[in-house]
């Protein structure tokens, strides 16, 4: 059971993130929701590569004991880098939306075609 | 070194160069644009021209039946496959041709269309990045690599959709697009993790050869199809598409069409190659899902197009409907793929669907370019305010008629050739399907005839008296696409036999794709 | 965004070199220990962001040109791809690690085992880390700078 806790955390993070994206009306909170989903997926990847009692995969051969899988860590890093780019783009779009409408509430954004 | 050796060398390295050249060009563009605007435009066109010639070189070899693999960082492939691998079969090459043509035309079109804007160095950088992303998605043989290129494409295209930041609606559409595509991409990453956890592989061929169709695989299939279909704008996940297509600059919309089709390519690659055997086990389910999605997409797209008053939004819903035809054709192929009595039908449906990918890109692309030209000349997109433009914009009118006939599947345009194949083959599966497909085509014709009447015919409006024909570069861009449409319409057999059929065969005979990496694999048709 | 108090400015001025050195260390050791171009670059960029916060965006904008940042960023990316292309030119395929085994710069093949790491290994990987590090430092700093500057004009309007 104790080993399932990371997976439960993954499910919780993704569900909370989805909840925030779908039900929150503030654009910044939606962006936070997306980063939560992203953290959940990243945690899932990193959990898959973990072996109990393993050491960091930084040696050419292990000094005894098993090494954790390096591939999921590399995948997670790539995913984090992409996440930073997406976050920066989303926030700059939010800044522009705020400039146009003066609000971050999705119910007040929009309106008739200009 | 003589020329033949050089070409052989280029051919060997072309899968990597096709992605590397636009990527390198993208980051050189900001440096070059300090010199001169014209130099920069020429540089971008030359970069994409070089990429296009590499794609054609690679495609000419792939269409003869070879599958190219390219291993990054090393010459030999160590098993289990840990290296990043590009694998190009006829289907990948077919999609790469579409993407590169669309990007090249869009850049030529932008020369005049975007002239008034500032920040164009970033615009061209993003266009080149997006092209590199699309080409990478289509050529890669590695699922995680596919995810990375998908994200490159979505980030750059969202930034391009919101390029006119002074318009509130554009920024809103861009935000909607980035939210939708990021969530989609994260679910793709989740399903990649599911594969990695089970099979310890990221390579598509490795996963396909090892797949066991466990419960987790079914979850992964659902997530992959849902996320990629969302990015392709399939109803009921199409809500971002009319906004993004309608509010982006027209040249960007043209490349966005290519990006959605790259996602569609992802759907087919997942269904046919990775789950090739899974479809063996449950012969009808996935295929029927695609067929039903296709029918809904078609009907809803056309129905929504009827009531639109905004020119570009209307075309965007037309584009949604066109995606339905592609899904219908390929879904039919998937349904009957393993039924020996209907193999010929299935192949015809696949050919129709795949040919329609290209026709959809060209027809919808041409219509968007015409809409952009009208916006450029009149600064107006609402159909209620347009009228009588045929007097002043003769060439644009001709191009619109060509696009109109092509999108509604009238002979002698290219849309007729592919839609006829789809009608004929779906009739064998179920007559109702082909009736719905023909009905939607007729409605599309009605919609676009209405647009033609509203925008081009009617009395001359005083406010459009001084409207002039658009500049040459835009005419060249539209003319190129119109010429391709007419050539494809006049000689469909040529295209179907030489390009479309190898692509259809590549999807159906998924075993060849896997055997190229895992020689011991025994499955596949 | 205007600057903060004198205490904050002084302390961040003292801390900035240490943060930068630590980030550069992470970049330089990217092929040996966890870390690399992105992580180290993010550390340096966060140091720059600290200066930005404490001294204010107008002060920073007057000293750092956004255009120069974007040129440096492009240079980082171009270096990365050119290194990959050199793998095609000098070696065999794209991304080939052509420096390994040459015993020149970073060209030593490390001994098998779990002993102390040799920094002179890794072939093109450290060079690529430098390129990525440059790109990330100026890229992230540019993003933060532009965002801070953009929100400043908003406040000015009010």
Give the pLDDT score at B282: 60
> From CA A78, how far away is CA A98, in angstroms rounded?
30
Average pLDDT over residues C138-143: 92
- Cβ atoms within 10 Å, residue B6: 10
Q: Do the beta carbons of residue B30 and residue C71 sit within 8 Å? A: yes
Q: Do C38 and A81 touch (CB under 8 A)?
A: yes
Does B34 contact chain C (CB < 8 Å)? yes
**Residue B280 — very low, low, confident or very high, per pLDDT cuts 50/70/90?**
low
| A81: chain C residues, CB-CB within 8 Å | 38
Per the prediction, chain C carries an average pLDDT of 85
How is residue A109 written in tokens? 């954004």
Measured in angstroms, the CA of A67 and the nearest CA of chain B are apart by 16
Give the pLDDT score at C107: 78
| B174: chain A residues, CB-CB within 8 Å | 93
**Mapped to the 3 state alphabet, what secondary structure does B178-208 carry?**
HHHHHHHHHHHHHHHHHHHHHHCCCEHHHHH
Tell me: pLDDT of B283 over 60. no
> From CA B324, how far away is CA B422, in angstroms rounded?
11
Does C14 contact chain A (CB < 8 Å)? no
Average pLDDT over residues B288-292: 88
Tell me: pLDDT of A113 over 60. no
| C110: chain A residues, CB-CB within 8 Å | 60
Per the prediction, chain B carries an average pLDDT of 89
**Residue C156 — very low, low, confident or very high, per pLDDT cuts 50/70/90?**
very low
Instruction: Identify the contact set of chain A against chain C, taking CB-CB distances under 8 A.
Output: 56, 58-63, 77, 80-81, 84, 88, 91-92, 95, 98-99
Give the pLDDT score at C157: 46
Average pLDDT over residues B179-188: 93
How is residue B440 written in tokens? 């939607």
Give the pLDDT score at B334: 84
From the candidates A58, A60, A70, A95, which should be mutated to test the interface with C, based on the most C CB atoms within 10 A?
A: A60
| B189: chain A residues, CB-CB within 8 Å | 41, 45, 79
**Nearest CB to C71: which of B13, B31, B75?**
B31
Give the pLDDT score at C116: 67
| C81: chain B residues, CB-CB within 8 Å | 20, 23-24, 27
* CA geometry: angle B84, B89, B92, nearest 5 deg: 80
Give the pLDDT score at B277: 59
Residues 66-85 of B with CB under 8 A from C: 70-75
Residues 6+ positions from C16 with CB-CB distance below 8 Å: C47, C50, C51
Give the pLDDT score at B436: 92
Task: Pick the range with the lowest mean pLDDT from A20-24, B194-198, B464-468, C23-27.
Answer: B464-468
Q: Do the beta carbons of residue B228 and residue B188 sit within 8 Å? A: yes
**What is the per-residue pLDDT across B291-342, written as a single tens digit (0 to 9) for each?**
999 999 999 999 999 998 888 999 999 999 999 999 999 888 888 876 777 7
Give the pLDDT score at B96: 94
Chain C's closest residue to B71, CA to CA, is C93
Q: Do A37 and B162 touch (CB under 8 A)?
A: no
Q: Do A60 and C114 touch (CB under 8 A)?
A: yes
Measured in angstroms, the CA of B10 and the nearest CA of chain C are apart by 11
| B168: chain A residues, CB-CB within 8 Å | 97, 100-101, 114
Considering just the CA atoms, what is the radius of gyration of chain A in Å?
19
Q: Do A90 and B167 touch (CB under 8 A)?
A: no
Q: Do C147 and A95 touch (CB under 8 A)?
A: yes
Measured in angstroms, the CA of B12 and the nearest CA of chain C are apart by 9
> From CA B163, how far away is CA A50, in angstroms rounded?
42
Does B468 contact chain C (CB < 8 Å)? no
Per the prediction, chain A carries an average pLDDT of 87
Correct CATH for A2-52+68-101 of 3.40.50.720, 1.50.10.10, 1.10.287.3510, 1.10.287.130: 1.10.287.3510
**Nearest CB to C81: which of B13, B20, B71?**
B20
> From CA B99, how far away is CA B449, in angstroms rounded?
28
**Residue C60 — very low, low, confident or very high, per pLDDT cuts 50/70/90?**
confident
Of B151, B206, B145, B202, the C-alpha closest to B181 is: B151
| B26: chain C residues, CB-CB within 8 Å | 77
Does A86 contact chain B (CB < 8 Å)? yes
**What is the per-residue pLDDT across A30-51, written as a single tens digit (0 to 9) for each?**
999 999 999 999 999 998 888 8
Residues 6+ positions from B346 with CB-CB distance below 8 Å: B332, B333, B334, B335, B336, B337, B339, B425, B508
Above pLDDT 70, what percent of chain C?
92
Tell me: pLDDT of B132 over 90. yes
Does C21 contact chain A (CB < 8 Å)? no
Instruction: Print burial letters for B367-404: b (CB count within 10 Å at least 16), e (below 16).
Output: bbbbbbbbbbbbebbebeebbbbbbbbebbbebbbbbb
Give the pLDDT score at B45: 94
Measured in angstroms, the CA of C136 and the nearest CA of chain A are apart by 10
Query: What does the domain layout of chain B look like in residue ranges?
Result: 283-490
Q: Do C94 and B13 touch (CB under 8 A)?
A: yes
Tell me: pLDDT of C103 over 70. yes
Query: What does the domain layout of chain A look like in residue ranges?
Result: 2-52+68-101
How is residue C87 written in tokens? 């793998």
Chain A's closest residue to B143, CA to CA, is A75
**Nearest CB to C78: which of B16, B28, B34?**
B28
Measured in angstroms, the CA of A65 and the nearest CA of chain B are apart by 21
Average pLDDT over residues C60-87: 89
């Amino acid at each position: 059971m104790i080993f399932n806790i990371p997976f439960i955390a993954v499910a919780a993070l993704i569900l909370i993130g989805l909840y925030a994206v779908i039900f929150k009306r503030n654009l910044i909170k939606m962006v936070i929701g997306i980063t939560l989903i992203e953290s959940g997926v990243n945690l899932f990847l990193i959990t898959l590569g973990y072996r109990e009692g393993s050491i960091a995969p930084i040696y050419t051969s292990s000094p005894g004991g098993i090494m954790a899988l390096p591939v999921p860590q590399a995948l997670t890093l790539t995913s984090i880098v992409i996440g930073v780019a997406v976050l920066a783009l989303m926030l700059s779009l939010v800044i522009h939306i705020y400039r146009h409408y003066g609000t971050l509430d999705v119910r007040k954004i929009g309106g008739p075609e200009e | 070194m003589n020329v033949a050796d050089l070409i052989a060398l280029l051919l060997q390295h072309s899968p990597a160069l096709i992605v590397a050249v636009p990527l390198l060009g993208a980051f050189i563009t900001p440096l070059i644009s300090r010199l001169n605007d014209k130099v920069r435009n020429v540089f971008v066109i030359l970069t994409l021209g070089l990429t296009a010639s590499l794609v054609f070189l690679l495609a000419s070899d792939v269409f003869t039946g070879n599958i190219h693999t390219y291993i990054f960082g090393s010459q030999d492939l160590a098993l289990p496959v840990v290296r990043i691998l590009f694998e190009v079969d006829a289907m990948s090459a077919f999609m790469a041709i579409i993407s590169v043509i669309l990007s090249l035309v869009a850049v030529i079109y932008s020369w005049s269309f975007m002239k008034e804007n500032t920040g164009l160095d970033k615009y061209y950088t993003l266009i080149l990045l997006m092209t590199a992303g699309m080409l990478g998605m289509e050529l890669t043989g590695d699922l995680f690599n596919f995810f990375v290129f998908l994200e490159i494409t979505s980030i750059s295209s969202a930034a391009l959709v919101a390029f006119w930041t002074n318009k509130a609606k554009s920024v809103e559409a861009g935000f909607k697009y980035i939210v939708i595509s990021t969530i989609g991409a994260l679910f793709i990453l989740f399903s990649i993790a599911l594969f990695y956890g089970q099979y310890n592989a990221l390579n598509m061929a490795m996963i396909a050869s090892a797949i066991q169709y466990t419960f987790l695989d079914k979850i992964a299939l659902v997530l992959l199809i849902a996320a990629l279909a969302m990015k392709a704008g399939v109803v009921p996940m199409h809500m971002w598409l009319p906004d993004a297509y309608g509010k982006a600059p027209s040249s960007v919309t043209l490349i966005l069409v290519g990006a959605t089709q790259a996602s569609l390519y992802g759907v087919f690659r997942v269904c046919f190659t990775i789950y090739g055997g899974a479809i063996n086990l449950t012969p009808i389910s996935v295929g029927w899902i695609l067929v039903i999605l296709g029918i809904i997409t078609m009907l809803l797209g056309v129905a929504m197009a009827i009531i639109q008053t905004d020119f570009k939004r209307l075309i965007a819903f037309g584009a949604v409907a066109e995606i339905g035809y592609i899904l219908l054709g390929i879904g039919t192929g998937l349904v009957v793929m393993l039924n020996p009595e209907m193999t010929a039908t299935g192949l015809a449906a696949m050919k129709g669907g795949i040919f329609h990918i290209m026709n959809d890109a060209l027809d919808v692309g041409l219509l968007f370019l015409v809409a952009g030209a009208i916006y450029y000349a009149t600064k107006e997109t609402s159909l209620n305010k347009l009228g009588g433009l045929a007097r002043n914009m003769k060439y644009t009118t001709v191009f619109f008629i060509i696009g109109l006939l092509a999108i509604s599947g009238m002979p002698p345009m290219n849309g007729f050739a592919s839609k006829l194949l789809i009608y004929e083959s779906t009739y064998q599966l179920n007559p109702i399907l082909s009736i719905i497909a023909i009905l939607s085509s007729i409605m599309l014709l009605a919609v676009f005839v209405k647009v033609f009447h509203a925008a081009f015919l009617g009395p001359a409006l005083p406010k459009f008296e001084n409207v002039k024909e658009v500049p040459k570069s835009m005419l060249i861009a539209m003319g190129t696409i119109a010429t391709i449409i007419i050539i494809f319409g006049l000689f469909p057999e040529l295209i179907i036999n030489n390009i479309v059929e190898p692509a259809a065969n590549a999807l159906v005979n998924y075993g060849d794709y896997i055997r190229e990496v895992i020689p011991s694999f025994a499955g596949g048709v | 965004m205007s600057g903060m108090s004198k205490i904050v400015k002084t302390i961040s001025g003292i801390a900035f070199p240490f943060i930068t050195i630590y980030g550069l260390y992470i970049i330089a050791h990217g092929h040996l220990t966890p870390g690399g171009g992105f992580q180290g670059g993010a550390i340096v960029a966060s140091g720059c962001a600290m200066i930005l916060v404490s001294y204010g965006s107008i002060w920073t904008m007057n000293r750092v040109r956004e255009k120069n940042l974007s040129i440096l960023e492009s240079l980082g990316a171009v270096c990365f791809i050119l290194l990959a292309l050199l793998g095609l030119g000098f070696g065999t395929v794209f991304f080939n690690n052509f420096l390994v085994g040459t015993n020149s710069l970073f060209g030593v093949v490390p001994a098998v085992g779990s002993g102390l790491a040799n920094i002179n290994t890794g072939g093109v990987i450290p060079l690529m880390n430098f390129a990525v590090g440059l790109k990330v430092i100026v890229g992230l700093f540019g993003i933060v700078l532009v965002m801070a500057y953009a929100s400043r004009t908003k406040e000015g309007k009010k």
